[in-house]
């Protein structure tokens, strides 16, 4: 039998304690896509509409793919957009299910959306004014601990105005 050790960060074989396994970490990209003076926020199909939460796009990095390639692929698959100027922003561990969120920003070549209905339930281009004027009745944003909120906040304060924190 395998025994959890160090809060689940490793498994130790009960029959042979020298045999130790470490859980894998799956890289996930999360990106704030911009065009002109707007940012793209979306709600994935896995999130219930009554929550009204809009967030940055995200997806898993595939084997053999760089994080930047994953950003471009995921954005195109989910929205039909082509992006460039892909820049690393920050990272966040996501312990369950063992993901490492890699945050990026990217610039869309145009703003014409072709949503993949199996992935994205809704998407909106929002200006800084739209985000600052929003009410929770309109839509909500990810919580303060989420990297998506940090991406949105940092974009908001680029113009010297108020952010989310």
Q: Can you give the pLDDT of all 165 residues of the chain as single tens digits?
A: 778 787 767 788 888 888 888 778 899 999 999 999 999 999 999 998 898 899 999 999 999 999 999 999 999 999 999 999 999 999 999 867 789 999 999 999 999 999 999 999 999 999 999 999 998 788 999 999 999 999 999 999 999 999 997
Give a yes or no: residue 163 inside a domain: no
- Give the residues across from 34 on adjacent strands: 39, 107
Q: Check which CATH number belongs to the domain holding 14 and give it.
A: 3.90.79.10
Q: How far apart are CA 55 and CA 40, in angstroms?
A: 8
CA–CA dist 71, 76 (Å, integer): 9
In a domain, 31, yes or no: yes
Structure letter (DSSP) for residue 67: H
132 near 157, Cβ under 8 Å? no
> Is 165 inside a domain boundary?
no
pTM of the model: 0.87
Considering the domain boundaries, does residue 164 fall inside one? no
| Domain span at 112 | 3-158
- Domain-embedded: residue 153: yes
∠ at Cα 158 (156, 160), nearest 5°?
A: 90
- The reply to whether 142 falls in a domain is yes
Q: Domains in the chain: how many in total? A: 1
CA torsion sign, 76 to 58 to 92 to 142? Answer: positive
Residue 33 lies in a domain: yes
Residue 139 inside a domain? The answer is: yes
């Amino acid at each position: 039998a395998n025994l959890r050790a160090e809060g689940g960060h490793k498994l130790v074989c009960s029959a042979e304690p020298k045999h130790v396994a470490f859980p894998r970490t799956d890289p996930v990209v999360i990106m704030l896509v911009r065009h002109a003076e707007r940012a793209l926020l979306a709600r994935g199909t896995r999130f219930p509409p009554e929550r009204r939460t809009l967030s940055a796009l995200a997806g898993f990095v595939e084997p053999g793919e760089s994080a930047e390639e994953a950003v471009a692929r995921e954005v195109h698959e989910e929205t039909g957009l082509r992006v460039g100027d892909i820049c690393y922003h920050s990272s966040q561990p996501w312990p369950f299910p063992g993901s490492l969120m890699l945050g990026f920003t990217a610039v869309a070549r145009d703003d014409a959306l072709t949503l993949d209905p199996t992935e994205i339930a809704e998407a909106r281009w929002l200006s800084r004014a739209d985000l600052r004027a929003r009410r929770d009745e309109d839509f909500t944003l990810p919580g303060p601990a989420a990297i998506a909120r940090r991406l949105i906040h940092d974009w908001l304060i680029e113009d010297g105005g108020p952010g989310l924190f």
